Amino acid sequence: MDVLIFSGQSNMQGSTGEICNLPPRNGVYEYKYISDELVPLRSPVGEDIGENVLWASALGGGSMVPYFCNEYARIRGEVTAIHVAKGDSTIAQWQKGTERFEISIDKIVKGIKKAESVAEIGKIYFVWLQGESDALKCTPYEEYLKLLIKFKNDLKEKFFFDKFAIIKVGYFAAYADWCKGTFEEKKKSDENIMKAQCAAEEIDKDFTLLTDVTVKLSVTEKYLNKKEHGPHYNNAGMEIIGTEAAKRLAELVNESKGEKII
């Protein structure tokens, strides 16, 4: 069994504006922290924990996680998902010393232990989709990159994982009408975060970039939740993101073993 940890802000939390009726797949589980149990993975994913610390999928709607896990399991076999996400969160708000970091670590460590109690663990991956709030805040490229690497290093001090796998953030600030600045200024802010995420993979072998499909989807109306402010993906968008990212991650695993994707 592999363990996939899903973390980030609203597009990882799930804010599709739609109910997701994707049926559970055999061998795909989610760890529930409050009840300390593994359950068949189905929407909505995640849990509301603490006072605005971690959130489940918004309004009981869909998220990327079931699509990702179903595709990953098709290729790799059994998987347990651990969801630690919170909308409207900057990279600084995920750092060591924050309540969010400490509760996330507790949930992750207990989730891995629960998975180990039912099966031998193969790979563990930390999957990250975040950065929209930093684009809104105009977090500089250098600061985001520094905090991303620090966050990864602090996580590795608490538990082992094979890779910190990034789903590249899409455009957000550029299309946020409440965000001050010209379109070009806001677009540059988005792209600073994108560049920092790409740079992380180039300078630190712990990182891998799974997909940049979000860049295109974030400007394609049919894949967006029309009820949300700023680009949030609907279920159709989440299916594309999750399926593509999962296939790439499974390819990385199989490539390391000299195997091919079917």
pLDDT digits over 147-176, tens only? Answer: 999 999 999 999 999 999 999 999 999 999
Domain 2-256, architecture per CATH: 3-Layer(aba) Sandwich (3.40)
Q: Are 126 and 160 in contact (CB under 8 A)?
A: no
* Angle at 109 (CA atoms; ends 23, 208), nearest 5 degrees: 70
Q: What percent of the chain has pLDDT over 90?
A: 90
Instruction: Identify the pLDDT of residue 207.
Output: 98
pLDDT above 90 (res 227): no
Only one residue has tokens 């905090």, namely 147
**What is the average per-residue pLDDT within 186-191?**
98
pTM of the model: 0.96
State the Cα torsion 4-33-63-188 to the nearest 10°: -70
> Which residues touch 131 (CB under 8 Å, ≥6 apart)?
9, 91, 144, 169, 172, 193, 194, 197
Tokens for 2, please give them: 């592999």
Q: What percent of the chain has pLDDT over 70?
A: 97
Chain segment 102-157, per-residue pLDDT in tens? 999 999 999 999 999 999 999 999 999 999 999 999 999 999 999 999 999 999 99
* pLDDT, greater one: 254 or 23: 23
From first CA to last CA, the distance across the chain in angstroms is 19
Chain-wide mean pLDDT for the chain?
A: 95
pLDDT above 80 (res 260): no
pLDDT above 50 (res 262): no
Chain segment 233-256, per-residue pLDDT in tens? 999 999 999 999 999 999 998 876
What is the distance between the alpha carbons of residues 160 and 156, in angstroms, rounded to a whole number?
6
